[in-house]
Amino acid sequence: MNENAMSNDESAANPPEQDASPDAFANLRREAEENWNKYVRISAEYDNFRKRSARDVENARKFGAERLAQAVLPVRDSLEAGLAASDKADAATLIQGQEATLRLLDEALTGAGVTEISPKGEAFDPNQHEALSLLPASHVDANTVLEVVQKGYRMNERLLRAAKVIVARSENGD
């Protein structure tokens, strides 16, 4: 052990006598008050931060779907207009209106980060597809999606609904 380490250990064990003067006591009291005031300010800042964060989370819950709702409102308006015109329009015009409304809805969903899962011809993936049945098929490999009964959807890479599919199995039942 070196001399400095020894002298530090000794000074910790035997602290030097403190100056007991009134000025030294006043300085210590002032320093303690400053530390207390710092603590109170930091505590208040932390409390405000905690409340602000809780309020932000609550607002995100309340208004998180606002962008999607704003995008879907034109779809609702289009459906309403189609119903109002249904007794006056011919079938071709109604079909065009439905196609336009479907495009509006697709745009709204895409804007919200929703993507379609339509895996026809792809390998079956149990993480994204729900097999409704297995059918023998010689023209494709086993475990290939033959038909999509209901499309699936994911939002920002998170599965919302699995695609319901019919899957090929080999001719011999494997």
- The domains found in the chain, sorted by start residue, are 115-174 (2.30.22.10)
Which is it for the CA torsion 126, 129, 133, 134, positive or negative? negative
Q: What is the per-residue pLDDT for 125?
A: 95
The radius of gyration of the chain's CA atoms, rounded to the nearest angstrom, is: 35
- C-beta of residue 79 within 8 angstroms of C-beta of residue 101: yes
**Higher pLDDT among residues 107 and 21, named by residue:** 107
pLDDT at 60: 85
pLDDT tops 70 at residue 127:
yes
Average pLDDT over the chain, rounded to whole? 87
Question: Is pTM, for the whole model, over 0.85?
Answer: no
Distance separating the N- and C-terminal Cα atoms of the chain: 76
Q: Name 130's Cβ contacts closer than 8 Å, sequence gap at least 6.
A: 152, 162, 163, 164, 165
Say whether pLDDT at 1 is over 50: no
Q: Percentage of the chain surpassing pLDDT 90?
A: 58
Strand, coil or helix: 109: helix
**What is the β-pairing status of strands 129-136 and 163-169?**
parallel
The token pair that represents 64 in the structure block: 């998180």
Q: Residue 122 in 3-state DSSP?
A: coil
Position 164, amino acid: K
Those residues with Cβ within 8 angstroms of residue 73's Cβ, 6 or more apart along the chain or in another chain: none
* Distance between CA atoms of residues 151 and 134, nearest Å: 17
Does the pLDDT of residue 50 top 90, yes or no? yes
d(CA 167, CA 172): 15
For residue 103, pLDDT over 70 is answered with yes
Judge whether 152 and 161 are in contact, CB under 8 Å: yes
Residue 16 has pLDDT above 70, yes or no: no
Q: Is 111 in contact with 104 (CB distance < 8 Å)?
A: no
More confident residue, 163 or 60: 163
Mean pLDDT to the nearest integer, 91-101: 91
Q: Tell me, what's the pLDDT at 67?
A: 80
Residue 10's CB is within 10 A of a number of other CB atoms, namely 9
In the predicted structure, residue 20 carries a pLDDT above the cut 80: no
The type of residue at 89 is A
